[in-house]
Structure 1
Amino acid sequence: MSLDLQLAGKRVLVTGGTRGVGGAVVGLLSGFNARIAATARSRPDRPIDGVHYIATDLATAEGARQAVEAALRHLGGVDILINVVGGSSAPAGGFAALDDHEWATALDLNLMSAVRLDRALLPLMLAQGSGVILHVTSIQRTLPLPDATIAYAAAKAALSTYSKALSKEVTPKGVRVARVSPGWIETEAAVALVERVATHAGTDYEGGKQLIMRELGGIPLGRPARPGEVADLIAFLVSPRAASISGTEYTIDGGTVPTV
């Protein structure tokens, strides 16, 4: 069995493509000789040769429009769209701490950024009769954390439902839609969180990781996922090697979610 993912020359747009999972996806796909445009709010300090970076805020409709125009201008079209961008900056304090602004922020970043890009690029994919869209959701759609990320979890649940409906509409027309649902990933932001937790608890980095894992109810694997591990799964799913996969969601969480 060949390990060639047949991605050479594929035109790929990756959102959130400078750090964490998105950065890992960009690095991996560039190694497979894909042609890549990557979005982020700012250009990376260490850009990857051959990758076209687009500085824009996808939490806004204008930012999505700018991303699409820049990607099409550079790539001439898009064969694969990987929507990684997402996150939460909501304050702690449960439901009462989340006003309309916090809800709108979570929905714009975690749901509407993907919806807007899909809406702009899908007609082109349908016209060419082929394409792949991959949405990164979260295990919080089934295992929400109540303190600060209720809106984030709800937005990711909506993204998952939207993705399934979209797959049923466009897969018969040649465009695959898939989802990857990560658990806790040891990204740059996660490292900073662990360090804050460790300092507050008077422990070291490994002790901080254990505290967070207990908060999640435990990770049977014993550690968070690494960005590169999630990128490996995404690369396979968007490749022609996964040509019969559409409409499904793949969880990569080290066993965190305790139910079937």
Structure 2
Amino acid sequence: MNISLKGQVALVTGGTKGIGKAIASKLSNVGAQVVVTARHEPKDQTSEHHFITADLVQPEAAEIIAKEILEKYGRIDIIVNNAGANLSPGGGFSSLSDEHWHNDWQINFLSVVRINKALLPSMITQKHGVIINISTGAAKQPIWELTMSYSSAKAALNVYSKALANEVGSKEIRVNVVSPGVVKTPLMMEFIEDIAKSSNTSVDEAFKTVMNKVGVPLGRMAEPEEIANLVAFLVSSEAKYITGTNYSVDGGALPIV
């Protein structure tokens, strides 16, 4: 399989750390001009990526990003909506305030809706485009004491993605979802450390708790590059008949086929 994205412009939101960084690097390695966004530019950001500072929680951010991309490159071929986070405390429904719910839905759902709305008209005009929305296995297998509002927002993202795929498929635009399980990223490690602090246990014990809750037959976290490899395939011409599908990359954690 020879994947080439030469001449294509790709946006990766949240593209400076973890899964997003791995995706940006992979797409760049196979020829794409990659634009990445994050709230803060990292000191080690490579010059091969065009960086846009953006807080996607702010409604105006999507239009600012779209304007800069289209003015600089004149097109957008690939959107990877990777930015997202579990921002709320554990403990179930009684621990979650309106602000917790609002924040999780802003970053994990509404930010994606806004980015797609701002850039889809360009894709429709050029009659070509691929959108990958990064979700989570927790949207299908929520852990009530850890991910209630986050899982709910991502579940909405899954349904939205299927609806969008149905709408824009006739316009030669494909929309798919990639749902990672437990991935070894800075955010995941912070999440585990927070669990350790709140439960007054060690980081190793907190890690075991998470892995036991999720139940991963392969017995380990995924590396970010393992998610990036699938994304690179899905945005390429090798996957040109694939749309409206949700791919689990979770080491076998999802207990259904």
TM-score by length of 1: 0.93
Paired residue for 2:235, among 238, 248, 253? 238
Query: How many residue pairs are counted as aligned between the two chains?
Result: 255
Q: Name 1:223's counterpart in structure 2.
A: 220
Q: Name 1:72's counterpart in structure 2.
A: 70
Shift in alpha-carbon separation, 1:210–1:99, aligned structure 2, 3 A: closer
Q: How do 1:50-129 residues align onto structure 2 when only pairs under 5 Å count?
A: 50-129=48-127
Q: For structure 1, list consecutive stretches of 5 or more residues without a partner in the other structure.
A: none
Q: Could you tell me how far 1:177 is from its partner in structure 2?
A: 0.6
Q: Name 1:5's counterpart in structure 2.
A: 3
Q: Name 1:201's counterpart in structure 2.
A: 201
Q: Is 2:247 the counterpart of 1:247?
A: no
Q: Could you tell me how far 1:47 is from its partner in structure 2?
A: 1.1
Paired residue for 1:138, among 136, 139, 143? 136
Q: Is the 8 A contact 1:82 1:135 kept in 2?
A: yes
Q: Is the 8 A contact 2:87 2:150 kept in 1?
A: no
Q: Identity over aligned residues, as a percent?
A: 40
TM-score by length of 2: 0.94
Q: Could you tell me how far 1:215 is from its partner in structure 2?
A: 2.3
Q: Name 2:185's counterpart in structure 1.
A: 187
Could you tell me which amino acid in structure 1 is paired with residue 8 of structure 2? K
Shift in alpha-carbon separation, 1:148–1:198, aligned structure 2, 3 A: closer
Deviations 1:54-98 (A, max 9, x none): 111111211222222222233221011110011111122211222
Deviations 1:175-195 (A, max 9, x none): 011110111111012223344
Shift in alpha-carbon separation, 1:144–1:19, aligned structure 2, 3 A: same
- Distance in 2, matches of 1:189 and 1:128, equals 36
Report the secondary structure of 2:157's partner residue: helix
- Distance in 1, matches of 2:252 and 2:146, equals 23
- Distance in 1, matches of 2:100 and 2:22, equals 28
> How big is the alpha-carbon RMSD for the aligned residues of Structure 1 and Structure 2?
1.6
Report the secondary structure of 2:60's partner residue: helix
- Distance in 1, matches of 2:98 and 2:73, equals 37
- Distance in 2, matches of 1:104 and 1:197, equals 22
Structure 1 residue ranges (4+ consecutive) displaced by more than 4 angstroms after TM superposition: 195-199
Q: For structure 2, list consecutive stretches of 5 or more residues without a partner in the other structure.
A: none
Q: How do 1:170-181 residues align onto structure 2 when only pairs under 5 Å count?
A: 170-181=168-179
Q: Name 1:48's counterpart in structure 2.
A: 46
